[in-house]
Amino acid sequence: MTSRLLIVAPTAREFAGTERAVPGLHTVVVGMGETSADATRKALTAHVPTVLLSIGFSGALDPGLRTGDIVVSDSVLMAATGRRLELDPTHAASVRGLLEAAGIAVRPGATLTTKDPVLSSARKLSYHKTTKTSIVDMETTWIATAAREAGIPMLSVRTVIDEARHDLPRFVGNIIADGGRNEWRHAFRATLNPLTVVPMLALALRARKASARTRAMLDVLIPALTGESGTLEPRP
């Protein structure tokens, strides 16, 4: 089966409700962390897309980024090894143009991939200082590696959920360690600690804003990337 566009995300939540039936489109949840590499390889083999679009939420390392900001990556860096992969600059520039033409502000930047979640503001700012990367996640380098092995051009478009100044509640790390499963169970347990309630509510509001921005971004990109021409140019 041949697909024009394959969209991958670590969790179903990060599709922001945009998993829908569109000709030429497939969406696949690839999981968190290193497991996303094998899942992406299988998805690329099954669907053989013209373009791979990697989306999801990210943490800001750049203090200038705000919740809901869209970052189109020009490169990805693996924190553990220092290995950097450059992404196709023409595709990245075209996507930025599409989004900007639709009135959606975007930022170029590099993505840092870490093995473990980055929960503290101090660690975020330290990574920004030492790596000069803009955002952090746990999957993009793994997904980019799989795409490069398959010879498929990849676009990485992430939405900032937590800013560099934000410390994330500890239960977020528990959810990630559990592979994103039983999210509500972890959240419920966290509510038993009164000190966690306010940070949880703040995170929920940020997640809502990031989801809305992700939906707006996909409303622009899906029609463009599944068009008859197969190009990344805006459609009339």
Query: Does residue 1 have a pLDDT over 70?
Result: no
What b-and-e string marks burial along 156-189, b requiring 16 or more CB atoms within 10 Å of the CB? bbbbbbbbbebebbebbebbbeeebeebeebbee
pLDDT-derived band at 7 (thresholds 50, 70, 90) equals very high
Q: Rounded CA gap, 167 and 154, in Å?
A: 31
**CA dihedral (93, 95, 96, 98) positive or negative:** positive
Q: Rounded CA gap, 55 and 139, in Å?
A: 10
Six token digits for residue 227 = 């068009």
pLDDT-derived band at 135 (thresholds 50, 70, 90) equals very high
Nearest to 177 by CA among 68, 33, 14: 33
What is the identity of the amino acid at 102? A
Query: Does residue 235 have a pLDDT over 50?
Result: no
pLDDT in tens, 185-204: 545 455 545 556 556 678 78
Residues 6+ apart with CB under 8 A from 40: 8, 28, 30, 52, 142, 143, 146, 147
Tell me the CA end-to-end span of the chain in Å, nearest whole number. Answer: 28
Six token digits for residue 120 = 């503290």
Query: Does residue 172 have a pLDDT over 70?
Result: no
pLDDT value of residue 140: 97
What is the identity of the amino acid at 1? M
pLDDT value of residue 35: 94
Q: Worst-scoring range by mean pLDDT, 104-113, 175-184, 226-235?
A: 226-235
pLDDT in tens, 83-122: 999 998 888 999 999 999 999 999 999 999 999 889 999 9
pLDDT value of residue 46: 94
CA count, 13 A, side-chain hemisphere, 7: 27
What is the identity of the amino acid at 75? S
Q: Rounded CA gap, 124 and 173, in Å?
A: 15
The CATH number given to 3-166+211-225 is 3.40.50.1580
pLDDT value of residue 101: 94
Record the pTM.
Answer: 0.85
CA torsion, ordered 231, 53, 97, 208, to nearest 10 deg? 140
Computed over every residue of the chain, the mean pLDDT equals: 85
pLDDT value of residue 122: 96
Query: Does residue 12 have a pLDDT over 70?
Result: yes
pLDDT value of residue 13: 87
Residues 6+ apart with CB under 8 A from 223: 235
When comparing pLDDT for 92 and 24, which is higher? 92
| DSSP letters for 160-217 | EEE-TTPPPPHHHHHHHHTTTTTHHHHHHHHHTSHHHHHHHHHHHHHHHHHHHHHHHH
pLDDT in tens, 60-83: 999 999 999 999 999 999 999 999
